[in-house]
Amino acid sequence: MKIAVMGAGAIGSLFGGLLSNSGEDVTLVGRPEHMATINNNGLKIDGVSGEHIIKVKTTSNAGDLDKVDLILLTVKAYDVDKAVREINSIVGTNTLVLCLQNGLGIVEIVSNTIKEKQIIRGTTTNGALFIEPGHIKHTGKGDTIIGRMGGEVDSRLEEIKAVFDKAGFPTTISTTMNEILWNKLLINISINPFGALTNLPNGQLRELFANSMKIVISEAIEVAKNVGIELDLNTAIDKTFTVQFNTKNNRNSMLQDVERKKKTEIDFINGIVVKYGKIVKVPTPLNSLLTSLIHGLEQSYMS
């Protein structure tokens, strides 16, 4: 399969590298220094999938790409808009775009430019860490789920699943992608900003925030209900507490962004609950406060 990875950071390089390693025709699109190092020395991947030095094509300019079968869109959520405009010229009639971002609202952005039937949504629990230019660590094996927002399944999805499975990413095709994304969102909204604002690992959040987390999740479930998604409060609360316990020493990705004084994905996590809430007229005061607090923090270190 001819594949381009748009946004070859940690997770993009991991997928692109192992897909290339298993025989696919992959080109990575990423930052010049990372791409140049891979060109010169190959892409080093170590960690849970063993140690590999992988030869893979690279470019820093999406415009240089040929038409491909699949574009793996792995830029940060807030860069999707820009990335989609950059890849637009190389999206052919048969090209599929697989969006692997955290959060909600991604397909809405992509579909401004790309036809909805060419968009696939995905989510993965594989962990990857950017060690240095040319070097990625696969920190945890996980599951990958792909599907169309409308739930349709066809042979193209099966082909992607086969290619991913072969490369070492066990993949499931889902007909309820929207519900899967909402369920994942409920976990992210009840962990990420709490850790990011307090500088605490996941395991220390529950004792401080159990009540606030329940309200944050309740607000989102009420919003989801009004956009046609039924979710269960108790299941979601059990799930987030289980995830917090199982990852108790982890500093969540939003906290890591704050520590590195980088922009966060808050607008696609708690912020999207606020945005949808306004549309369906469901109040979301706690999600709104958390979103603004993270915006304030970003303002303090980015301006």
Interface with a second copy includes 209 (CB under 8 A)?
Answer: yes
Residue 194 Cβ vs a second copy, minimum distance, rounded to whole Å: 7
With respect to a second copy, which residue has the nearer C-beta, 127 or 195? 195
By CB under 8 A, which span of 55-63, 80-88, 125-133, 281-289 interacts with a second copy?
A: 281-289
Which residues participate in catalysis according to the annotation? 184
With respect to a second copy, which residue has the nearer C-beta, 59 or 247? 247
Which of 162, 208, 279, 280 binds a second copy (CB under 8 A)? It is 208
With respect to a second copy, which residue has the nearer C-beta, 38 or 196? 196
Distance CA 216, CA 9 (A): 31
Interface with a second copy includes 110 (CB under 8 A)?
Answer: no
Residue 275 Cβ vs a second copy, minimum distance, rounded to whole Å: 14
By CB under 8 A, which span of 40-48, 137-145, 199-207, 264-272 interacts with a second copy?
A: 199-207
The CA–CA distances, whole Å, from 294 to 21, 165, 283 equal 39, 37, 19
Distance CA 133, CA 8 (A): 11
Number of residues that bind a second copy (CB under 8 A): 25
With respect to a second copy, which residue has the nearer C-beta, 24 or 265? 265
Token representation of residue 30: 């990423």
Contact between 108 and 82 (Cβ < 8 Å) = no
Residues that bind a second copy in the complex, under the rule CB under 8 A? 194, 197-200, 204-205, 208-209, 211-212, 215, 285-286, 288-290, 292-293, 295-297, 299-301
